[in-house]
Amino acid sequence: MNDLIYGLVTGAIFGFLLQKARVIRYDKQIAALRLMDMTIVKFMFTTVLVAMVGVYLLKDLELVKLSIKTTILGGNIIGGLIFGIGWALLGYCPGTSLGALGEGRYDSIWGIIGMLTGAALFAELFPLMKRTVLTWGNFGKITIPGILGINHWIVIIVMVILGVLMFRFFEKKGL
Amino acid sequence: MGNISEPKGWNPYLAGALTGLLLILSVWAAGKYFGASTTFVRGAGFVEQTFSQERVATMEYFKKEMPKIDWQWMFVVGIFFGSVIAAGTSKSFRWQGVPAMWENRFGPNKAKRAAAAFLGGTIAMFGARLADG
């Protein structure tokens, strides 16, 4: 029960911030894919950088656990490419489609129905995918510092520097 | 782009950083990382259950991601309400079936936009699940 309340409140704050930053609407998402307006990339990457520092800090203090997904190149690459095609057609992300509906962009309803259909389709084809694509290049639960065999803070610092340089580039180009 | 009357949004770095803090808090307090696409699998499972409960019960993927209301389900519902509140308090709610950028390129036909959104959603979710994202 607590879990459900945490979920609802966390989602509501997230949806509030997404809407306030104007990042959930079609025009913003597609403008990013067309390399015309990097607002959503600024938002996302800032979130990633801040969360990366905070979560690893808490992990070092043994207060939280990481949730590392399995790296399967077949699934990650082919799935990523397919997702990109669908995202460009839809113009909403799975989570933000609900937020887009919340600000009245009701074409997202068709996207939501489509995504339920896509999930159902995947459930049908899962046994086949498991035998094929999802066996290609399975590296297990790996991380960048893990592969390189270095302290995670080195990777974090490098990522933060790269992120800031990217942001500076966007601002200089007026993106 | 286009919207004259609407107030400018928050700085994306600020809103992004606040979202980062929210994520840290969520992981700390509830042990939950953000995600949305699993909820669509559970949602599809719910819909299919109304047709055939037995069939859903035997499908491997629905055994893995059972149709149930969990943290992420409520998180996704929360996104909707959070957006309603933010849009309602900033004069940026707009009942619109064809986005401006789409209309400029493909015209005002709502059915055309609906078809693309449906097809795009189907493809996107299939890809997201394949990538385990």
A residues 24-63 closer than 8 Å to B (CB): 24-27, 30-31, 39-40, 42-51, 54-55, 58, 63
Please tell me the distance from the alpha carbon of residue A64 to that of residue A1, in angstroms, as a whole number. Answer: 21
Give the separation between CA B126 and CA A126, rounded to whole angstroms.
10
Tell me the shortest Cα–Cα distance from B67 to chain A, in angstroms.
12
Q: 């035998």: which residue's tokens?
A: A131
* Domain boundaries, given as residue ranges, for chain A: 2-172
Interchain CB distance below 8 Å, B76 and A47? no
Q: Considering the entire predicted model, what is its pTM?
A: 0.95
Contacts 24+ apart (CB under 8 A), B44-49: B44/A116, B44/A117, B44/A119, B44/A120, B44/A123, B45/A123, B47/A116, B47/A120, B48/A120
Task: Report the DSSP beta bridge partners of residue A105.
Answer: B96
What's the complex ipTM? 0.96
Q: What is the pLDDT of residues B42-92, one digit of tens each?
A: 999 999 999 999 999 999 999 999 999 999 999 999 999 999 999 999 899
Q: Tell me the mean pLDDT in the region B36-45.
A: 97
Burial A32-45 (b: 16+ CB within 10 A, else e): beeeebbbbbbbbb
Instruction: Convert the pLDDT of each residue in B89-110 to its tens digit.
Output: 989 999 999 999 999 999 999 9
* Residue B20 burial (C-beta neighbours within 10 Å; 0-12, 13-18, 19+): buried
Q: Is the pLDDT of residue A25 over 90?
A: yes
Q: How far apart are CA B91 and CA A126, in angstroms?
A: 44
